[in-house]
Structure 1
Amino acid sequence: MDRDGEVAIITLDRPEKLNAYTPEMFHEMMEAFERFRTDPGLRVAVLTGAGERAFCAGADLSKTVGALTDGGPRHFADITKRFFSDIYKPIITAVNGLCIAGGLEMMQGTDLRLAVPHATFGLGEVRWGITPGGGSHVRLPRQIPWAVAMEILLTGRPISAQRALEVGLINRIVEPERLLDESLALARTIAANAPLAVQAAKEIAVRAMQLETPFELEYYISGPILRTEDAKEGPRAFAEKRPPAYRGR
């Protein structure tokens, strides 16, 4: 985590793997956000990815899905805290490229989103026999129109930055060389406001949605999917670069 005055800058730094996160990276990121949450000198966070190709391609399937399909979804659901749902300081996402799977789930847990023109957004999990586990079934239909959310969730196909802007998933499209500067400028505008009032505004908005029960529903329905034969076949096919052969069991 870096600091720019009252702004924390948290960067996913694995560009050679499209910033797909390992369990170790995930824990480091959550520790950085906990430091942000508890530091009274920090008022706003900017979350971004290293490199020019991707914000985050989600979890590294080769390192994370095996543990989930072997019975770990409850633990995973606990440690994600549904991506920042307990942080009431504002978070801005600077999306510098591909934003899919867990990357898009992270972004849904943030408050303002700026993206480069070549960014794409998607949840491809159903293509690989699994389901998004970070709150997308709950958040996405609340953040964009139902039909668009269902298209993203059910087809597994990504949408462009322009389409994301049209449906309200992001706030602004910014040229790559201006992305971090404009994100920091927005963060400083928010940080200049009264911090307790800003945090109260976010807390009211988040808690008024009463997300805890829907998040539990997501876990209880999605959890068993991770223990199916299809959930093992999908990531295996992904790793082997072949079409999966699903059997519906």
Structure 2
Amino acid sequence: MSEDILYESQGHVRIVTINRPDKMNSLDFAANDALAAALEEFDADDDARVCVLTGAGSKAFCAGADLKTYTMNFGGRPLPEFRQKYTNGYGIGGITRNMEIWKPVIAAVNGFAISGGLEISLACDMRFCSPNAEFAIQDVKWGFHPCDGALIRLPWIVGLGNAMEMFLSGDRIDAEHAFRIGLVNRIVPQETLLEETVAYATKLATRAPLAQQLGKEVMLRSLGRTMEDGLRFESRSFRDLGNTEDLDEGTTAFREKRDARFKGR
């Protein structure tokens, strides 16, 4: 990877760390591209089943885009490269738009998740956070609105009223508030956050990977569609699973009263 983005393997789990703690783990162009590359590597690796995404240090998960870099020498407005990378490309971090990862991704939010950093966490499937975590969409304070999924994903996750409150005010909310409205799944002590998140990811990696991936795709593709369309997606996906070795292994393991050993085939 790069010094800004660390990539570690633990069994079938991959740990991706934004390693810019002196910049609150905000992303400049190079770090953004490196993070996108790390997620592409995870997605393409058949041995990798679950990803844990976190930030270095104890202050920030990610403070979003490094705006000082993006507005440099352009009268305070975003450089053209900003529009290209963040509105036409993958989006911030390579996960918020145009990159379809059907494997499970868990955010270990170890501090501030602000604006683009919040959007990265929203693009993950679950969010575990430390007690000192804070969440906000502060874009309206600076004259713009989110462009990497917060306006779409946040209402799905916390409901329209809570999403409107966060967006229209730009105020930060703490970990307890985030847990109360369903923004995070768990609050974990700072000193064990990564360990416990990886342990949970390791458990997920023992489950049937094809079933997880197809089921996740059904859930996400069904959002906003009619019940009839969603049921059709689900039924078609289930039929696809019928021809897999994993289904045979799972049913055999059930009959033999043992843990299944899935191979993703």
Alignment of 1:118-157 (within 5 A): 118-157=132-171
Matched, 1:43 2:49: yes
Find the counterpart in structure 1 of residue 243 from structure 2.
Answer: none
The equivalent position to 2:26 in structure 1, one of 5, 20, 44, is 20
Q: Displacement of 1:147 after TM fit?
A: 1.2
> Between Structure 1 and Structure 2, whose CA radius of gyration is higher?
2
Find the counterpart in structure 2 of residue 232 from structure 1.
Answer: none
Find the counterpart in structure 2 of residue 88 from structure 1.
Answer: 102
Matched, 1:200 2:214: yes
Matched, 1:69 2:83: no
* Unpaired stretches in structure 2, ≥5 consecutive residues: 1-6, 226-265
Matched, 1:103 2:112: no
Structure 1 consecutive aligned stretches of length 4 or more whose deviation exceeds 3 Å: 65-72
Matched, 1:190 2:204: yes
Any conservation in 1 of the 2:42–2:51 contact (CA below 8 Å)? yes
Percent identical across equivalent pairs?
A: 39
Supply the distance in 2 between the matched residues of 1:133 and 1:187 (Cα, whole angstroms): 29
Q: Displacement of 1:76 after TM fit?
A: 2.0
Report the CA distance shift for 1:185/1:6 in structure 2 as closer, same or farther (over 3 A): same
Supply the distance in 2 between the matched residues of 1:107 and 1:164 (Cα, whole angstroms): 12
Q: Displacement of 1:75 after TM fit?
A: 4.2
Find the counterpart in structure 2 of residue 217 from structure 1.
Answer: none
Question: Which has the higher mean CA deviation after the structures are superposed, 195-204 or 57-66?
Answer: 57-66
3-state DSSP class of the match of 1:83? Answer: coil
Find the counterpart in structure 2 of residue 11 from structure 1.
Answer: 17
Any conservation in 1 of the 2:14–2:51 contact (CA below 8 Å)? yes
3-state DSSP class of the match of 1:80? Answer: coil
Supply the distance in 2 between the matched residues of 1:141 and 1:31 (Cα, whole angstroms): 28
Report the CA distance shift for 1:177/1:75 in structure 2 as closer, same or farther (over 3 A): closer
Matched residue count: 211
Task: Read off the aligned partner of 2:78 and give its amino acid letter.
Answer: T
Q: Displacement of 1:80 after TM fit?
A: 2.4
* Deviation by residue 1:48-87 (Cα, 9 ceiling, x = unmatched): 0000111011101111245773545254223225616511
* Unpaired stretches in structure 1, ≥5 consecutive residues: 212-249
* Deviation by residue 1:85-111 (Cα, 9 ceiling, x = unmatched): 511000000010011011100000001
Find the counterpart in structure 1 of residue 245 from structure 2.
Answer: none
Task: Read off the aligned partner of 1:142 and give its amino acid letter.
Answer: W
3-state DSSP class of the match of 2:54? Answer: strand
Find the counterpart in structure 2 of residue 177 from structure 1.
Answer: 191
3-state DSSP class of the match of 2:27? Answer: coil
Any conservation in 2 of the 1:80–1:134 contact (CA below 8 Å)? no
Task: Read off the aligned partner of 1:176 and give its amino acid letter.
Answer: Q
Structure with higher RCO (Cα < 8 A, 6+ apart): 1
Task: Read off the aligned partner of 2:96 and give its amino acid letter.
Answer: F
Supply the distance in 1 between the matched residues of 2:193 and 2:85 (Cα, whole angstroms): 35
TM-score (norm 2): 0.76
Supply the distance in 1 between the matched residues of 2:70 and 2:12 (Cα, whole angstroms): 34
Supply the distance in 1 between the matched residues of 2:146 and 2:18 (Cα, whole angstroms): 20
